Chain A
Amino acid sequence: MLRVTSGGPLATVQDQGRFGFSRFGISVSGAVDAHALTLGNRLVGNPANSAAIEITFGGAVFEFAADTVFALTGADLSPDLNGVPVQMNQTIAAIPGDRLSMQSPRFGLRSYLCVAGGFEVPLTMGSRSTYLAAGVGGHHGRALKQGDEVPIGTPGRTVHAGRRAPDAIIPRYGAEISVRVVPGPQEDRFTERGLETFYSSVYTSTDKSDRQGVRLDGPAIEAHGKRYDIVSDAVVTGAIQVPGDARPIVLLADRQTTGGYPKIGVVATVDIPLLAQAAPGTKIRFSKVTVEEAQQATRTAIAGLAGMALEEPVVQVTEMVIDGLPVRVEIATPREPTSLTRLTVVENGRLRVAAIDVV
């Protein structure tokens, strides 16, 4: 169980989303940055769809109530455990009473706290994701706040502290990003000039962005006959709507299922994590790709994550017989043991966390 001391601006329980209910008007929800969630779950030894806490713009404080192995991924929040700095993208161990604090990110927007065993809130329509607009799913259908206690499941396997993701798999969140777009389904609603404007201009993410979408500012995109409405149809995550103000909105996890604005294109799924991390003021360029190129990019990304070799800690194994009973003890030491205060120890397959003094 995890105690919430502060949820910061917005912290919600999310898994990879609630699929299969769109025809009922039910939003997908789920982690906005699916890449960071997948990476975090991989680090702590969870299935990719385990629920994590999505922390928007940092500022959260949590307290552990049991021996727990966790990892923080996504935007760097300069986290500390009881005041001692800990690393992003690395498994860390905590004992009951340990307090994890996070600052605001300097780059990026969303971070994921993944724990071994996942957050075990009840399944609602097959998912643990929080559906904020409907007030269901996740932790009582709402954002986390002070005093909440979020249950943690039993880990499927033991993972040591000090496991790291390779640098190559960790995105750099910059002030300028470039995202790939598959044109359509309503590209033909826009003039040649409108399309030229969209693909050659720099757009800036605004502070009117949220889990539903990124609202962009920049040059107006011209539609035929200045008509920015269509007979409402279904939308997908990543769809780029252009409403009456002629500025694009990229739809994210909490989007509605249908919409009445023309869609100039859809962001390639592999590039949605970049938009998930586009803090207000981020400069965004769009480039056109074919469906096939976007599908190939998906395959490459999935293969990259699947084939990723994590950097494992040094594990010392000692086997002995104590009082006539065989005992096997594993002690993990991170490769960079800076500011190390917690060690994972596995005794006969059972994990516990040991507190050590800083030397």
Chain B
Amino acid sequence: MTLEAGPRVRILPAGESALVIELGDAIDPGLNQQVYELATAIERASVPGVQELIPTYRSLLVRYDPLRTGFAEMARNFEQMAAAAVSARPHREDRRFVFEVPVAYGGADGPDLPEVARHAGLTEEEVIGHHTFPTYRVYMLGFAPGFPYLGGLDPRIACPRLKTPRTRVPVGSVGIAEQQTGIYPLATPGGWQIIGRTPAPLFRPDHEPPVAIMPGSFMRFVRVSAEEADAVRDLVHDGRYEIPVRRRGF
């Protein structure tokens, strides 16, 4: 069963206790913005039976209580909100709040920086410059706790994955894989080209919320020295560190 709520919108079952509101089928900043606007609208509407919302690139998954509400009834709640989200004039992106993630580039923290520079035909300094310049959109979190799917990598520093993945990538490593850049929230095996490392923990199971960077927000990489990174580590150790959020002028 599929309910069509507008030209691009589809509401699809995901089992008997969840449904997916698809607003489109692409990785696109405007589309992603609409997903978060829809999530906010549903939260504000306090629809009975809704248990959890999971926003992604281009759709919103709604977990609901199947003992309380059927699929069709639940879907009807969202038809108008979804149609409104896709037809509304695009808001100006709210980039006033930007997470500024400190990164120590190169050296032991970024063993693949020379390879990325070689592949791009740039100097290491130029790679760092291109990586720290953009404001990245956090399309969604997934794959691992607190892992941000980022949009906005400068295509000049895109680089293929390692031919042989590492068996262990240190927590906080900042990498590039094809057109993506990201941060490893846990020490795991991995094949991304590692260009730096952040001392800021993305996954903090004892905090509320348990992740440092929120889905639907924006972030930048800010270059710090190895000494500055160590100072951040000390603050983290003492429980006195939060990733700076820059509030831009109005």
Contact = CB atoms under 8 A, between A and B. Distances in A.
A256 B188 CA distance: 14
Interface string B120-161: 000000000000000000001111111101000000000000
A231 to B, nearest CB: 5
Contacts of A21: 210
Interface stretch (B12-20, B86-94, B98-106, B191-199): B12-20
A235 B22 CA distance: 13
A90 B22 CA distance: 47
Between A21, A183, A291, the greatest number of chain B beta carbons within 10 A of the residue's beta carbon is seen for: A291
Contact of B144 (A133, A267, A269): A133
B186 A135 contact: yes
Interface string B64-108: 001100110000000000000000000000000000000000000
B16 A294 contact: yes
Interface string B54-65: 111111010100
B54 to A, nearest CB: 4
9 contacts: A22-B54, A25-B185, A25-B211, A134-B145, A231-B57, A233-B22, A291-B16, A294-B15, A295-B67
Contacts of A297: 16
B175 to A, nearest CB: 16
Nearest to B19: A185
A24 B209 contact: yes
B140 A258 contact: yes
A258 B210 contact: no
Interface in B198-217: 203, 205-206, 209-211, 215
A20 B52 contact: yes
Contact of A268 (B16, B61, B145, B188): B16
Given A133-B144, A292-B70, A233 B15 contact: no
Contacts of B17: 236, 269, 295, 298
Contact of B56 (A19, A233, A267): A233
A117 B12 CA distance: 41
B241 to A, nearest CB: 19
B61 A125 contact: no
A263 B14 CA distance: 9
Interface string A276-306: 0000000000000011101101110010000
B70 A236 contact: no
A19 B51 contact: yes
Contact of B14 (A26, A125, A185, A302): A185
Nearest 10 Cβ contacts at the A-B interface:
A258-B142, A266-B15, A294-B16, A234-B61, A185-B12, A234-B54, A25-B141, A291-B71, A24-B211, A233-B56
B38 to A, nearest CB: 13
Given A25-B142, A26-B145, A124-B205, A236 B14 contact: yes
A268 B14 CA distance: 10
Contacts of B185: 25
B27 interface: yes
Contacts of B59: 233-234
A239 interface: yes
B15 A269 contact: yes
B234 interface: no
A161 to B, nearest CB: 34
A171 interface: no
B210 A133 contact: no
Contacts of A125: 205, 210
Contacts of A302: 67
Interface string A253-271: 0001110000100111100
B228 interface: no
B58 A291 contact: no
Given A233-B20, A257-B142, A23 B14 contact: no
A113 to B, nearest CB: 25
B53 interface: yes
Given A258-B140, A291-B15, 13 more contacts: A23-B140, A23-B215, A24-B141, A25-B142, A26-B145, A125-B210, A231-B27, A234-B20, A236-B15, A236-B61, A256-B144, A294-B66, A295-B71
B25 interface: yes
Contacts of B55: 23
Between B17, B53, B67, B144, the greatest number of chain A beta carbons within 10 A of the residue's beta carbon is seen for: B17
B66 A298 contact: yes
Given A182-B15, A184-B14, A233-B20, A26 B210 contact: yes
A136 interface: yes
A258 B211 contact: no
A239 to B, nearest CB: 7
